[in-house]
Structure 1
């Protein structure tokens, strides 16, 4: 069962032609073994290269040689793409497809590193994408990272002016999403990375895709389509299970945890591998539903705890859900061009390139904060040296919530004239239409509609779908007495009683009702699934938003949410759940 088929159609329309186009072209194979640091002059050039991997699969990448008339030693920047896309094959004169594929901050930085800074750059196709063959293994340290290490071996032997520090090649990297994941995981496997700039990436894949044992179906469906059928079988089976039963097998969850930087940070890996030694600049989006603030915080704190230099910049966008969220520069991705950090502003590409340059060449770089929460649309931000968790405790007034999506759909449809409903849903099967009329005229139990929810939701026009998405209970917590920022991680301690007992499934986020009036809105479009009953303690999803004096802050609670649309979440028995407790808010004034 896949809900929101229109959304998935949009994604398929975008991703499939791009992937097919990226698979064209030819690549060259060089057997050069020139010694590094030769001092030979080089002319600006780029060429495609392939290697045969350890498992006989092809590894494809494009090598960018800088203009280097003096034969100076220069570092290497490794760049890669997001899930479903492919490498940059022509940074200088890209065609329309190439422009789309590289139209993000990471592509900008890689291009400038080659053309402006005079560095070597390698942009590579990750396993299963573009011209690199093999099944998609989602950053398996023993497969994906082995490919990356083989590519670095090639660079050491063939980039004649590659800069070394002793026996260590000077290597930096940049990439967004999946292109961030190769950096955090593979720099932990291969310690030859010196500086990394991961944008909008994960720390712990089970949390990203299956937080509190609740599948994030809307993104799992998108990733399934973007994989073009090349996922490892166990991963495809996991998506089927998530979509139908709402469950992913424990062994798969464990396996995905091992494809995550957190596993290296915790020091619990059976292979004994430890976290990366590279310095890191993390850039993450507060409105990124796939990889949220908490994941970047976890990465930042892991790197810092290991003694690496670590910085974290929070801006608005990241992964974007078409029809449900506002798009950035790309259809599925977005990154603010400018970051606002207290009294300082930074161009995002300047910041990333300067960070890499300072670590790889020893030049004096920008003075940058440890942590910055930037609000570009208001040109303000706040800096700190630690992530704020909570800070101002507020009581949650005892309230009742009806779980499941069925009641939401019924409430929406009964608010409309019957003729409007029937006209809108005229394509329903006859049996479904008959049952719907009986439910709306109170002559049948609403639960009789369960088997037709898919059909009903997929026929709703956008304006009605948005009402369904926006539905949630706003429980006021406090009224702001001065302007400030919510910047950090809220803490929830909630007592959940009644409903379906241990099978309760609710979704919580923070809401804001403007001093200027209007309905409460979900802050940063983020919700966290919570399960069960009794006393539940949770780190809520991190937030970054401005607060005006007089704004009312509150807890948003949903009985179902479209980010998590599997059958079990939709068909919970609509038995009232009582919720109470406290929320600890990371609220700070803007003049701090």
Structure 2
């Protein structure tokens, strides 16, 4: 057997302070071109490897910086696509990747297993398959690209991408034994796929169907079986839930095996697949490791449009500034990026900057209310509060303590009650409530006491707006076929905490 010791590992043993994955000081390769260095246009090269796991093809594209100086050293950015997508296979001409390339970053854009030109089946970023493929790509880069920059012997490495392209960043961060990622910038991604697709033990059939279509014939048989069971029976087996958990950052958070890293999160509070609650969970987990972690909220998500910004803070410029600071060492480059920012509305420049992570601050009581969970659409509305003079912003995660009992005292509990709970808004003079965050409801299944979060919110409220708790017996917009099949009436009694704040919070800065 041949034992190969990687240079980055050997250097980590010899140099002080390396391998913490958090960026920062230390001895860094000069990122300035050598004097009188010849320059040329950067090249773009497709690379195909045989996976060390099972021999399947791994496809990726190496994109040198737009202007390449011979003898210079450059930080590397890993990029990957959304679910059902494919890599950036040519020189980018617009957007974030073009800006990074122009600023002197090398890029490797990856086709994840089962996508694009990569072989195998889609396992939703399984650490034993997609995870090993991604580590093999980084190994290849260190062995074959002589222009890579290092700090204290550790590769200067960042990553970018949204959704599935955010999940792959978490995967590498969690499993790379050499801790080569210095900083990450995940967008609209998950914390726990069990929550994403089976929150409250109720199957999110709308998104499961779209994922099944997106993965197509390349989706793994076990993944397909789980999606089909969820769609047809509104249940997932323990084994199916274990696969989702294994492929989630949440599992590593609970294991306690994560290390320090700098992370810039962009999430959409309007995203009904990976919502604001998942971003909070990611922030809390990664921030606890001691790195520089920031959470910014924008409008666009998996099923919502709008500006790629938080107020006047542009997303792409912020990510570029993030890496200028974390990888290139440009002091103060990321000073305009607040620790927290919440965009309000779909468009415009209304984004507020709280001085701490917003939590539920005001508590309201819900008196006993009867409802019959079933496949009907007749919701119950319970007023909570009316917004006073000056308006307000509601940003963060509402909380609920809710008791669900049989409507007839002493009667046996019947059926399988499922409720979909959201927050409504009714403007002065109107007689119709709209969900504060469109199509955002939290399902609850069964009898007894529930203490949990409702889906996150990020909205500006006007004086006179009435806020209510909305109880739905079914919610076909995102949970078609996932309602109760037996319409036994239940009584609901609850306490609701709302993250309500004064309307004059500071506005997000321009960058």
TM bucket (normalised to shorter chain) is 0.7 to 0.9
Corresponding residue number in structure 2 for 1:543: 457
Corresponding residue number in structure 1 for 2:322: 355
Following superposition, the deviation at residue 282 of structure 1 comes to 0.4
Task: Measure, in 1, the Cα distance between the counterparts of 2:68 and 2:259.
Answer: 31
TM-score (norm 2): 0.85
| Alpha-carbon spacing, 1:361–1:540, altered in 2? closer, same or farther (3 Å) | same
Corresponding residue number in structure 2 for 1:74: 74
The aligned length equals 458
Matches within 5 A, 1:505-584: 505-525=418-438, 526-563=440-477, 565=479, 567=481, 569-570=482-483, 572-584=485-497
| Alpha-carbon spacing, 1:300–1:502, altered in 2? closer, same or farther (3 Å) | farther
In the alignment, is the contact (CA less than 8 A) between 2:44 and 2:91 conserved in 1? no
Following superposition, the deviation at residue 359 of structure 1 comes to 0.4
Matches within 5 A, 1:33-44: 41=38, 43-44=41-42
Classify the secondary structure of the residue corresponding to 1:133.
coil
1:51 to 49, 52, 77: 49
In the alignment, is the contact (CA less than 8 A) between 1:141 and 1:259 conserved in 2? yes
Following superposition, the deviation at residue 158 of structure 1 comes to 2.1
Following superposition, the deviation at residue 559 of structure 1 comes to 0.3
Classify the secondary structure of the residue corresponding to 1:184.
helix
- The answer to whether the aligner puts 1:486 opposite 2:399 as a matched pair is no
- Could you give the per-residue CA deviations for residues 446-492 of structure 1, whole angstroms, max 9, x where no partner exists? xxxxxxxxxxxxxxxxxxxxxxxxx6322111111131111011111
In the alignment, is the contact (CA less than 8 A) between 1:214 and 1:564 conserved in 2? no
Corresponding residue number in structure 2 for 1:391: 361
- The answer to whether the aligner puts 1:180 opposite 2:166 as a matched pair is yes
- Could you give the per-residue CA deviations for residues 182-237 of structure 1, whole angstroms, max 9, x where no partner exists? 00121111211111110000001111111111111110111011111222221111
In the alignment, is the contact (CA less than 8 A) between 2:56 and 2:119 conserved in 1? yes
Matches within 5 A, 1:137-216: 137-190=123-176, 191-216=179-204
- The answer to whether the aligner puts 1:112 opposite 2:99 as a matched pair is yes
Which structure's residues are more often helix, by fraction? 1
Q: Which ranges in structure 2 are unaligned for 5 or more consecutive residues? A: 1-29, 408-412, 506-511
| Alpha-carbon spacing, 1:219–1:75, altered in 2? closer, same or farther (3 Å) | same
Classify the secondary structure of the residue corresponding to 2:342.
strand
Matches within 5 A, 1:153-552: 153-190=139-176, 191-267=179-255, 274-320=257-303, 327-328=304-305, 336-340=307-311, 345-364=312-331, 365-367=333-335, 368-375=337-344, 377-405=347-375, 407-408=376-377, 472-482=379-389, 483-498=391-406, 501=414, 503-525=416-438, 526-552=440-466
| Alpha-carbon spacing, 1:347–1:69, altered in 2? closer, same or farther (3 Å) | same
Following superposition, the deviation at residue 70 of structure 1 comes to 5.1
Classify the secondary structure of the residue corresponding to 2:68.
coil
Task: Measure, in 2, the Cα distance between the counterparts of 1:163 and 1:565.
Answer: 48
Task: Measure, in 1, the Cα distance between the counterparts of 2:479 and 2:363.
Answer: 32
Following superposition, the deviation at residue 566 of structure 1 comes to 5.6
Classify the secondary structure of the residue corresponding to 1:361.
coil
